[in-house]
Amino acid sequence: MFLTEGAEQTPLRKAAAAFVAATSAVLLHLPLPESLPSTQEFLPLLPTGLRAFALYVQAHYLYLHQNYTQSIGIVESTLAMGAEQYPITAIYLHLMAVMDYMSMRQTETARNHLLAAWALARPDDLIEGFGEHHGLLGGMLEAVIKSRWPEDFRRIIDITGQFSWGWRQIHNPDTGHQVADNLTSTEFAVAMLVVRGWTTDEIAAHMKVSASTIKKHQAQIKRKLKIDTWEELEPYMLA
């Protein structure tokens, strides 16, 4: 859409095209295009709001490579430099922080970022990002949103189902990875925590349900994915 045949290849056009290419690849968890310029080349050319979102994309890329401390450094710095004036970008940055802090088992800090994102989202019903990130939030929506805002939670889960279906149609064929598509949203959240090394009791306490409920989810996960051990689970997860 930015680089059309015959169009003048201005630095801004090139920066915009690089931003779109990087964002598409990272958010679909696909390899970055080989011809993509470095972030340092195109980032300064973007408008301020897009620059903040590009930093979210960079943080997401680092998260996917398990560089959680670098990722959260970018997120916290971008928020500190005024990203909150762009509500959608700020929501995505806070959700990125939840992903990082949950990966580092800093659940209280993750919870605070989720509530910050929620405070930005609720006035204008900007809940799409929560549905898009659900599988990566480590059960935090179930732990924080489900009981206090049940109707909003149901709408988020509907968004999750619609988004995940389309996401997998692109991601799975392109990468050869078969991200699980037959788990419920709760089962997927449990599975993500299992992959991160959480015990049954830890998951139950975090998600505010009984251990027996989590065990039932775990049994369903193994049955649906036709696996016998948790070591076989990781290829079906997002990170």
Q: What is the 3-state secondary structure (H, E, C) of the chain?
A: CCCCCCCCCCHHHHHHHHHHHHHHHHHCCCCCCCCCCCHHHHHHHCCHHHHHHHHHHHHHHHHHCCCHHHHHHHHHHHHHCCHHHCHHHHHHHHHHHHHHHHHCCCHHHHHHHHHHHHHHHHHHCCCHHHHHHHHHCCCHHHHHHHHHCHHHHHHHHHHHHHHHHHHHHHHHHHHCCCCCCCCCHHHHHHHHHHHCCCCHHHHHHHHCCCHHHHHHHHHHHHHHHCCCCHHHCHHHCCC
Is the confidence at residue 109, as pLDDT, over 80? Answer: yes
Query: What pLDDT is recorded for position 103?
Result: 93
Report pLDDT for 174.
Answer: 47
Nearby residues of 70 by Cβ (< 8 Å), 6 or more positions away = 62
What is the tens place of the pLDDT at every residue in 177-222? 566 677 888 898 899 899 889 999 999 999 999 999 999 999 999 9
| Structural domain harbouring 185 | 127-239
pLDDT tens sequence across 95-108: 999 999 999 999 99
Does residue 216 lie within any of the structural domains?
Answer: yes
Stronger pLDDT, 55 or 3, i.e. the higher one: 55
pLDDT at 205: 94
pLDDT band with cut points at 50, 70 and 90 for residue 170: low
pLDDT at 203: 95
| Number of domains observed in the structure of the chain | 1
User: Is 18 domain-assigned?
Assistant: no
In a domain, 2, yes or no: no
In a domain, 52, yes or no: no
Q: How far apart are the first and last CA of the chain?
A: 31
- pLDDT tens per residue, range 131-142: 999 989 999 999
Whether residue 193 is contained in a domain is answered as yes
Give percent of the chain with pLDDT exceeding 70.
89
DSSP state letter for 4: -
Q: Is residue 209 part of a domain?
A: yes
Residue 88 inside a domain? The answer is no
- Average pLDDT taken over every residue of the chain: 88
Quick count: other Cβ atoms within 10 Å of Cβ 96? 29
Confidence at 235, pLDDT banded by 50, 70, 90: confident
**Longest Cα–Cα distance in the chain:** 63
Q: Indicate whether 9 belongs to any domain.
A: no
Quick check: pTM over 0.75? yes
- Mean pLDDT (whole number) for 157-186: 71
